[in-house]
Structure 1
Amino acid sequence: MRLTQLRSFYAVARMGSFTRAAEHLHVSQPTITTQVRFLEESYKVELFYRRGRRVQLTGMGEQLMQLAQQIFGLEAEAVHLLGDAGELRSGHLRVAAVGPYHVTKLLVDFNQHYPGIKVSVSTGNSQDVLDRLLDYRADVGVLAQLVHDDRLLSVPFSKHPVVICTSSTHRFARRRNIRMAELQGERFILREQGSTTRKALEQALDQAGIKPEVVMEIGSREVIREAVAQGIGIAAVSLVEYVPGPGLHMVRISDAEIHTYAHVLCLAERREMRMVSAFFDTIAPAPERKKAATSR
């Protein structure tokens, strides 16, 4: 049985007439008649009692009508679902990010444009984000670093200065700004290897000829804050990630440009998918996004 045959049967049952069914489906009456007759002859059943130009469902026809109603009801729901998704009135966008600080504004902007889209966010380190993109568990990713991978489209969207976080009893605690040279001899608490903030700091220290005294390496921002507050050492943090709190002080570096950059990524093969494209549109106009894609 083909769906077109069942559709012809359904139309006749609803309209009560082969002629009206043909008009409803915009086909000829012989086509409708042939398709219904094919069902009856193929399965050796009688679906309609023919009463002149009018028809009436048989017992078997009524049972088939109930199933057909369910089938075409589901078909209508599927069409509605796909139509809403195509127009971004509904759907589900999965975002993977290295932290909440970089992604929050993006989500607010996207939600304002597309309030019907459900958004779920998973957080992890950079490798977690990349893994989720590459195995299709995330639609877009947000990283604090540039990734050189031909499989991915990456668009920068924000730039953040790196600042120094100290305890409120540290000698920098009454200062707003310091110079790079003043970091000589300071005890540093650093993020784990691979951290974008750590890379930016180490590059600036190297250029200034300063060798840091590393007392701890910690992978958690929260634990670093506690260690700094306890006076164990100072730490570098992206300004967007700095959270003021008791026992903490933030100071800027006045004579060095140290920054981290946040990037939005997706699989290059999925960049024209409607929902992914819409997310990129909230951070950059389409021409800029295409320019960034071609310059990877």
Structure 2
Amino acid sequence: MTLNQLRSFIAVARHNGFTAAARALRMSQTTITSQIQVLEEEHGVRLFERRGRRIELTQVGSELLQFARRMVDLEDDATMMLKDSAGLRSGELKIGAVSPYHVIEIVEAFNTRYPDVYLAMTFGNSEAVLHDLGSYGCDVGILARDTDDDRFHVQHYASYPVMAFVHRDHRLAGLRSIGLEALGREKLLMRERGSTTRRALEEGLVAIGLKPRVAMEIGSREAIREAVIRGLGVGTVSESEYVPDELLHPLPIIDAPVLTHIYVCCLRERRRSRMIAAFFEALQRTGPRKGMAISPKARTAKPAKRRQPPDEAGTD
């Protein structure tokens, strides 16, 4: 039994004859007759009683007609769904990201262009995102580092400076910015080893012959922020992830490029998928971006209310 046979059967029943059915389907009467005969012979039944030029459905034919209509309707629905997905009028895109700060910015352009595509986002470190990509747990990934794994297509999205920040009563709070060498002499609140922010700062200090003075190692950017608010020391963070607070004073690093980077990644074999390709096309409309520094006005502004940061997601 094929859907073509069922379509012919429905047409004959609807139009009360083979000639009218052939005309409606724009097929030859011989083809329509042959399909109905094959269907009857394969199952050993009669679907129509032929009374001269008139035909009538048999009992079996009447029962089959209900199933046939449902089956053809399902095929039509499936075809429409596929067409809609191809045109990105429906469907789902699963995104894995190291941080909520970057993924929302990136998906904004995609969502504006394809508002009917359902987006599902999960968060973890770069290793977890790459694992999910490889196991089809997500479709695209937002990473804090590049990878040399040939399975993946990786595209640079943006570079962001690392900055310092202190409590507003700290002795450094009178400065509008800080040099890397001066920062290297301070006792720093640092992320755990492996953090991209920490690695960028360590590499920058090593380049000028200094080793960071780590006063405290803290495993999340939000915890570092709270430690600085409580006056425990000097914190560092990517400027893209800095959350202003009336108790904090930002200190951009002015004399050396200390950067973190964001990459967008997918399995190389899936790069030409319509949905994933559309995501990378949207990416082109938002970037690439470099060195998004804090303006002088934003550096000195003090929000009226303390803002609550997003939950920590990854270790990057």
How high is the TM-score relative to the length of structure 2?
0.86
Change (3 A) 1:55 1:216: farther
SS of the residue 2:249 aligns to? strand
Q: Within the alignment, does 1:180 sit opposite 2:180 as a pair? A: yes
The question of 1:192 aligning with 2:195 is answered no
SS at match of 1:172: helix
Greater Cα shift, 35-44 or 232-241: 35-44
Equivalent position of 2:25 in the other structure: 25
Q: Which residue of 2 aligns with 1:11?
A: 11
What is the aligned-residue RMSD (CA, Å)? 1.6
Aligned length in residues: 286
> 2:251 is matched with which residue?
251
Structure 1 match to 2:219: 219
Amino acid at match of 1:177: S
Distance 1:60 1:200 in 2: 75
Once the two structures are superposed, residues 20-77 of structure 1 have per-residue CA deviations (whole angstroms, 9 ceiling, x without a partner) of 2222333321222122122223322221122333322121111100001110110010
Native 8 Å contact 1:163 1:253 kept in 2: yes
Give 3-state SS (helix, strand or coil) of 2:222's partner: helix
Query: Equivalent residue of 1:256, what SS?
Result: coil
SS in 2 for 1:262: strand
Q: In 2, are the aligned partners of 1:162 and 1:259 still within 8 Å (CA)?
A: yes
Alignment-mate amino acid for residue 189 of structure 2: I
Report the AA paired with residue 163 of structure 2: V
Q: Does 1:137 align with 2:109?
A: no
Equivalent residues of 2:94, 2:119 under 8 A apart: yes
Partner of 1:125: 125
Change (3 A) 1:19 1:201: same
Q: Kindly provide the CA deviation profile for residues 178-228 of structure 1, in whole angstroms up to 9, marking residues without a partner as x.
A: 112212432222112221111110001111222222132222221111112
Structure 2 equivalent of residue 241 of structure 1: 241
SS at match of 1:226: helix
**Separation of aligned partners in 2, 1:228 and 1:33:** 83
- Corresponding residue number in structure 1 for 2:276: 276
1:268, distance to aligned residue in structure 2 (A): 0.7
The correspondence of residues 1-150 of structure 1 with structure 2, limited to 5 A, is 1-150=1-150
Q: Which moved more, 1:197-206 or 1:228-237?
A: 228-237
CA distance in 2, matches of 1:184, 1:73: 70
Which position in structure 1 is the counterpart of 2:301?
A: none
Cα deviation for residue 110 of structure 1 reads 0.7
1:135-161 per-position Cα deviation (integer Å, ceiling 9, x unaligned): 111111111222222111111121211
Deviations 1:205-254 (A, max 9, x none): 11122222213222222111111212222222100000012422210111
* Runs (5+) with no aligned partner, structure 1: 289-296
Contact 2:103 2:142 in 1 (8 A): yes
Q: Distance in 2 between matches of 1:21 and 1:105?
A: 55
Q: Which residue of 1 aligns with 2:294?
A: none
Which residue identity lines up with residue 260 of structure 1 in the other structure?
T
- Do the aligned residues in 2 keep the contact of 1:183 with 1:210 (CA within 8 Å)? no
TM-score using structure 1 length: 0.92
